Amino acid sequence: VQLQAFGGGLVQAGGSLRLSCAASGRTFSNRAMAWFRQIPGKERELVGGVRWSDNNKYYADSVKGRFSLSRDNGKNTVFLQMNSLKPEDTAVYYCAATDVTYIIGFLWQAKAYKYWGQGTQVTVSS
């Protein structure tokens, strides 16, 4: 299984970016996809995710109202629309996926995800 992430870049504070992540693989059966972010010296933290079975979406408090997830079922792709970006959103963003159905509480944790994409850098200048 491969995850390909696109869309990072440099943007000014208040601007927007859209990240996309496509999952592919012959035996992959998607159950949830999510975005995490990480800055040097800190643990990877959840940004938001979506559980495929019921379209249940979950977001970190720090991004609620600014970031939104959408998905393309047929293409196993998830998009992260990031608006009103702040300098503290600067990080490497990683997409992740799992082929196991978990409760939402567990999906907040990085260990719930078996598959990870390459990171994409998001830099927000002040």
- Binned average pLDDT, 10 residues per bin, the chain of 126 residues: 93 98 82 95 96 93 97 88 98 96 94 95 97
pLDDT at 27: 63
CA 51 to chain centre: 12
Q: Are strands 67-72 and 56-59 parallel, antiparallel or unpaired?
A: unpaired
How many Cα atoms occupy the beta-carbon half-sphere of 108 within 13 Å? 6
Encoding tokens for residue 75?
């293409």
Which class for 99: exposed (0-12), middle (13-18), buried (19 or more C-beta within 10 A)? Answer: middle
| Structure tokens, 26 | 């012959």
